[in-house]
Chain A
Amino acid sequence: MLFDLLDISANGKYAKVVINDTSLVFPTLLTLTSTKENDINWLLGDSGKTLSINLPPSSLTQEVSNKKTTIQFVANILMHEPLQVSFVLNNLQKTTALIADRLKIVPPENALVMLQPNINPEILDAVTKTITKYKIRHVGITNFTPLLNTPRKALEFILRLRQLLPLDTLLYLFSPVPHTVVPILSYCGVDAFNSGYVRLATKSGLYLTAAGALPLTQLSEKICSCKICADLPISDLQKTLLENNAAGLDEHNMLIYQAKVREVRYALKQKDLRSYVEQNLFDTFTATALRLLDSSWTDMLISRTATWLSTPIYHLTPLSYYRPAVQAFQRRVRERFDILPYKKIVVIFPCSARKPYSFSKSHRKFLEVINSLPKDKQAYIQQLILTSPLGVIPRELELVYPAAHYDIPVTGLWSEEEKAIAVQQLTSVLLKARKQKPIVIAHVSDEYLTLCQEAEQKLKTTFVYTAAGSKPTAFQALANLKKTLLAKIADSPPHQYNKDLEFVRALSDYQFGLGIGEKLFPEPVTLKQKPNQNIFLFKGKNRIGVIHHRTGQLMLTVPMGMALAKQKKYYLKLHGEELKGSTIFAVGVFEADPEIRPSDGVVILNEKDELLGVGVASLSGSDMVSMSSGRAAKVKTKVKSLTKAHSG
């Protein structure tokens, strides 16, 4: 079996899998074709190529047909609630012996075991250990439907499986579920969905739409124009669809279900399944599950969510405030951003609709004020931008995903939730400078001003307000800001300042950890940027690096890699002396920094800690280690001579 993980978004995987020379893309559909012993029972795949699966064994007798299918059931582990834990564990021993026996005939890469929901840690631990021990790659889930009423349990079960099983184990949901929950379950880590729901809906006279199911007989006008629905008036459509064993309705419903799975695949290819899930808030299961995911499974979600994307993100509902990308950004700002010791003044600006902020009309005016100050005094100023839902964005990080990529309905109305997030983030950032006690100038008005006042109270300090009662862009307010700034820095001595170096170091800290910027860039650099192009780093006349303008990511070079490797940050370790090809496979990675998230820059080391090259991670650090197949990272630059690159 060849497993190629192409893209990942939280626990959702877009993967190419080749079994016995047939290649399929996941997530995909499972389709029941027959329950007769001699027929093909299940087909896996929804776009041309398919693989066959036999019928699952009974959970008590474990009898299984000997028919040759590509993927074969080897056991049905009896483990569902309300069965006693002791019984399940006891029975598992017998089932494990059976699995061992059957694997003498069925290769593990073709073997499938069936599980049932249970969230008991002891049971899940034992069951996943068996699966891992025998290297079984296909795991089925049945008896899942009652959990559609208990999203907490549903999440607990699937996410624990996703935590305990290697990421390249495929999860097949044999219980039929409505198409509306396919996106969220895919986001949780289910790889194949039983299209059986389509037939159940058909038999119940339900007409599927992207958002749900409608009773066909109650429709008074046509909704869809698929090939089944296209040419008929509604009354005929209703008749036609329900005649002949409702084959027409079934076909229409199948198209809707398929479309959902294909849209999930597309979203995964864009590495942003999260946005698609938020667009699919059609039922309480999805909404509840999303909420619980964000609050209880944050770390897991973040670790498998790309750090760097260029796609826009829309914050449409309060659920968007807690997206992993948002929480991860807030976390990195809290943990990896520092207000430098010589910053005597912090200026808080409101956000702008246009991103990055510097490109907006309002911020161009703000920056004009700053730039009009004496050059040797600008070093004292730290700019912060107050926004929702990211909270606080230091000027140095305004290009970074998702700071430059988010869009939010701008109404001037802040919900209590948004306010709380912003105040919390602002206070924790300002606390970083509590030693130097900077003067905080809040050049804000309206709701932003209220937020600043709340932060002020929390911090037990006083801010200077330079735009109260007017628009921050008003002439008077800008003049007031300039006057205040000049007054505050008047007594300070001139301070030499390399703005570009500060920028690159802050960005490096954000990417790799607090203090890493200084190690990567001990000497001054200059930045060169043309509109809508990548930003280049220069040391003198030599180009030494690049920042992607669409993602805001600083790309690693070999010299940076060497410095990073010395810090033991964002590294992965391989067996072997040199890099072959441009792909690092997970099977070769034996150690990796658990901080690594997909799309992060990484340094590639050998067993002796020598730098082999730099690249971009495809997986989280821990998944690289636990997975035995699939791509772990892409190599960007290889080190030519090992001796030169010794990092130790």
Chain B
Amino acid sequence: MERPVGMFSPQIYQIRKTALISRKAFAADKFIASWIEKDRLLTGIGNALVVILNSPGCQWGLGSEGGCSMCGYSNETSEGITAENLVAQFTQALHANAGKKFQSVKIFNSGSFLDEKEIPRTAQEVIFRHISEIPSVQEIVIESRPEFVIASALKRLTTILQPEQILEVGIGLESSSDQIRIHNINKGFLFVDFQKAVAIALAQKVRVKTYLLLKPPFLTEKEAITDAIQSAIDAIKAGSRSISINPVNIQTGTLVSALWKAGLYRSPWFWSLKTVIQTLWKRIAEENLTASVDRIVSDPSGAGTQKGIHNCRLCNRTASKLVKEYSLQQDPAILNELHCSCHSLWKELLEQEEATRDFSLHFFERSINQN
């Protein structure tokens, strides 16, 4: 597959190269993190085991094109990780959470689980065998770029699982607009590549969860809202029944972080996420897509902090809670419980940013926080 390269690719590559010099060293046999979280499963609310593996990392991100403008997960990867290391990491994570009940396993490896350069075939298979032996687990979620979503790779894994266990592949589409995905994000694939991957997965009875980015750099907040809604509709139409909306959080060693430091990027507002979720459900109903959707979730990293999605200091906590609650309940009306005086400032900033193309207007948020 040919990978389209975005206009900021050389700079992203430079930034990544510099960041990788000071990459923290992780022990090869130690997983990065693991925990149990409440999650919206296909069958309702349940528990999910999350495991973050220490892997060689995303090959697109570590390659000469520099990877994505907002992604700093390459800082949590290591060189020379073997299949044995990965299996050891996973079994340790299972050990660490022994005795706890979970119905879902989510494996994140800061890249593509299906890329054999990142997770060798044997490691993929052994990990899946372990999961297949946990009777309570009904869902398995892995992540992959679309180019690795191929029939044979999926078939290998689904055959290991129990018939009632469902595999879902998360694909970071980010945006359905090729312009935005290629240039603003430097994602390196086209919407058609995504569509193909979804078709392949569905043919293998593998579900697709689409990750969408809320507020890629160089978009105004208003454009970002519009884009996220449209992208979700497009992803659903392509056959993805799960949508995860990921508001950008500032990660070190990225172009987004450099812009943020210069005062030219603000992670999105909770108000924007609320607008996206509520408008999206409305659009879904209008376009008769309700039957094509399982869940629309958002689990923002760094929620309520300056580096993550945030409103003002008065309502950040409530907003984080409400978003979590919404994700579990799948009831967009929950978000109506968010009230704060910063709403009118957000609306004003939205308009002014649109009319000035000024990405630094958050400069003026401090004044409201002082009141």
Residue of B223, B344, B360 with highest tally of chain A CB at under 10 A: B360
Taking A82-B258, A84-B14 as contacts, is the C-beta distance between A176 and B361 under 8 angstroms?
yes
Residue pair B367, A196 in contact (C-beta under 8 Å) = no
Measured CA separation A82–B15 after assembly (Å): 11
CB-defined contacts of A217 to chain B, threshold 8 Å: 371
Can you name 4 extra interface pairs (CB under 8 A) apart from A91-B7, A146-B262, A174-B355?
A42-B355, A60-B218, A146-B363, A149-B263
CB-defined contacts of A81 to chain B, threshold 8 Å: 262
- Specify which of B7, B262, B352 is in contact with A87 (CB 8 Å cutoff): B7
Interface string of A43-62 (1 = CB under 8 A from B): 00000000000011111110
What's the minimum C-beta distance from A50 to chain B, rounded to whole angstroms? 16
Residue pair A35, B262 in contact (C-beta under 8 Å) = no
Measured CA separation A205–B340 after assembly (Å): 13
Residue pair B262, A80 in contact (C-beta under 8 Å) = yes
Residue pair A83, B352 in contact (C-beta under 8 Å) = no
CB-defined contacts of A32 to chain B, threshold 8 Å: 351-352, 355-356
Residue pair B360, A144 in contact (C-beta under 8 Å) = yes
Residue pair B357, A142 in contact (C-beta under 8 Å) = yes
CB-defined contacts of A83 to chain B, threshold 8 Å: 11
CB-defined contacts of A149 to chain B, threshold 8 Å: 263
9 closest pairs, A vs B, by CB?
A: A146-B263, A145-B363, A204-B368, A145-B360, A174-B356, A203-B345, A142-B358, A35-B354, A82-B258
Q: Which residues B329-371 have CB closer than 8 A to chain A? A: 341, 344-345, 348-349, 351-352, 354-361, 363-364, 367-368, 370-371
A199 on the B face (CB < 8 A)? yes
A148 on the B face (CB < 8 A)? yes
A76 on the B face (CB < 8 A)? yes
B264 on the A face (CB < 8 A)? yes
Measured CA separation A32–B354 after assembly (Å): 10
Residue pair A145, B263 in contact (C-beta under 8 Å) = yes
Measured CA separation A57–B179 after assembly (Å): 15
A143 on the B face (CB < 8 A)? yes
Interface string of B247-275 (1 = CB under 8 A from A): 00000000000110111100000000000
CB-defined contacts of B360 to chain A, threshold 8 Å: 143-146, 175
Show the binding face of A for B, using Cβ within 8 Å: 32, 35, 41-42, 55-61, 76, 80-84, 86-87, 91, 114, 142-146, 148-149, 174-176, 194, 196-197, 199-201, 203-206, 213, 215, 217, 245
Query: Can you name 7 A-B residue pairings with CB atoms under 8 Å?
Result: A42-B355, A57-B357, A87-B10, A144-B358, A146-B264, A175-B358, A215-B371
Measured CA separation A61–B184 after assembly (Å): 10
B8 on the A face (CB < 8 A)? yes
- Specify which of A35, A82, A204 is in contact with B364 (CB 8 Å cutoff): A204
CB-defined contacts of B10 to chain A, threshold 8 Å: 84, 86-87
Taking A35-B351, A81-B262, A82-B261 as contacts, is the C-beta distance between A142 and B356 under 8 angstroms?
yes
What's the minimum C-beta distance from B357 to chain A, rounded to whole angstroms? 5
CB-defined contacts of B357 to chain A, threshold 8 Å: 56-59, 76, 114, 142-143, 174
Show the binding face of B for A, using Cβ within 8 Å: 7-8, 10-11, 14, 179, 183-184, 218-219, 222-223, 258-259, 261-264, 341, 344-345, 348-349, 351-352, 354-361, 363-364, 367-368, 370-371
Taking A32-B352, A81-B262, A146-B264 as contacts, is the C-beta distance between A200 and B364 under 8 angstroms?
yes
Taking A55-B355, A145-B360, A175-B356 as contacts, is the C-beta distance between A82 and B7 under 8 angstroms?
no
CB-defined contacts of A199 to chain B, threshold 8 Å: 348, 352
Residue pair A60, B352 in contact (C-beta under 8 Å) = no
Residue pair B8, A87 in contact (C-beta under 8 Å) = yes
What's the minimum C-beta distance from A532 to chain B, rounded to whole angstroms? 51
Taking A144-B360, A200-B345, A204-B345 as contacts, is the C-beta distance between A82 and B262 under 8 angstroms?
yes
Measured CA separation A176–B259 after assembly (Å): 19
CB-defined contacts of A197 to chain B, threshold 8 Å: 364
CB-defined contacts of B222 to chain A, threshold 8 Å: 35
- Kindly report which residue of chain A lies nearest to residue B351, judged by CB atoms: A35
Taking A114-B357, A142-B356, A175-B358 as contacts, is the C-beta distance between A84 and B11 under 8 angstroms?
yes
Residue pair B355, A35 in contact (C-beta under 8 Å) = yes
What's the minimum C-beta distance from A582 to chain B, rounded to whole angstroms? 42
- Specify which of B183, B341, B348, B358 is in contact with A60 (CB 8 Å cutoff): B183
What's the minimum C-beta distance from B358 to chain A, rounded to whole angstroms? 5
CB-defined contacts of B218 to chain A, threshold 8 Å: 58-60
Measured CA separation A91–B6 after assembly (Å): 13
Residue of A57, A86, A174 with highest tally of chain B CB at under 10 A: A174
Measured CA separation A81–B359 after assembly (Å): 12
Residue pair A148, B262 in contact (C-beta under 8 Å) = no
Taking A144-B360, A148-B363 as contacts, is the C-beta distance between A58 and B223 under 8 angstroms?
yes
CB-defined contacts of B356 to chain A, threshold 8 Å: 32, 56, 142, 174-176, 194, 196
Taking A60-B218, A148-B363 as contacts, is the C-beta distance between A143 and B264 under 8 angstroms?
yes
Residue pair B371, A205 in contact (C-beta under 8 Å) = yes
What's the minimum C-beta distance from B266 to chain A, rounded to whole angstroms? 11
Measured CA separation A38–B2 after assembly (Å): 40
CB-defined contacts of B367 to chain A, threshold 8 Å: 200-201, 204, 206, 213
What's the minimum C-beta distance from A342 to chain B, rounded to whole angstroms? 64
CB-defined contacts of B364 to chain A, threshold 8 Å: 145, 176, 197, 200, 204
- Kindly report which residue of chain A lies nearest to residue B179, judged by CB atoms: A61
Residue pair A80, B184 in contact (C-beta under 8 Å) = no
- Kindly report which residue of chain A lies nearest to residue B346, judged by CB atoms: A203
CB-defined contacts of B341 to chain A, threshold 8 Å: 205
Measured CA separation A142–B218 after assembly (Å): 13
CB-defined contacts of B371 to chain A, threshold 8 Å: 204-206, 215, 217
- Specify which of B11, B184, B358, B368 is in contact with A205 (CB 8 Å cutoff): B368
CB-defined contacts of A213 to chain B, threshold 8 Å: 367
What's the minimum C-beta distance from A34 to chain B, rounded to whole angstroms? 8
What's the minimum C-beta distance from A69 to chain B, rounded to whole angstroms? 13
What's the minimum C-beta distance from A270 to chain B, rounded to whole angstroms? 32
CB-defined contacts of A175 to chain B, threshold 8 Å: 356, 358, 360-361
Measured CA separation A56–B351 after assembly (Å): 13
Measured CA separation A200–B223 after assembly (Å): 20
- Kindly report which residue of chain A lies nearest to residue B344, judged by CB atoms: A203
- Kindly report which residue of chain B lies nearest to residue A82, judged by CB atoms: B258
Residue pair A60, B7 in contact (C-beta under 8 Å) = yes
Measured CA separation A114–B358 after assembly (Å): 11
CB-defined contacts of A144 to chain B, threshold 8 Å: 358, 360
CB-defined contacts of A84 to chain B, threshold 8 Å: 10-11, 14
CB-defined contacts of A201 to chain B, threshold 8 Å: 367
CB-defined contacts of A56 to chain B, threshold 8 Å: 355-357
Measured CA separation A59–B259 after assembly (Å): 14
What's the minimum C-beta distance from B314 to chain A, rounded to whole angstroms? 13
Measured CA separation A81–B222 after assembly (Å): 23
CB-defined contacts of A145 to chain B, threshold 8 Å: 263, 358, 360-361, 363-364
What's the minimum C-beta distance from A617 to chain B, rounded to whole angstroms? 37
Measured CA separation A35–B348 after assembly (Å): 11
- Kindly report which residue of chain B lies nearest to residue A142, judged by CB atoms: B358
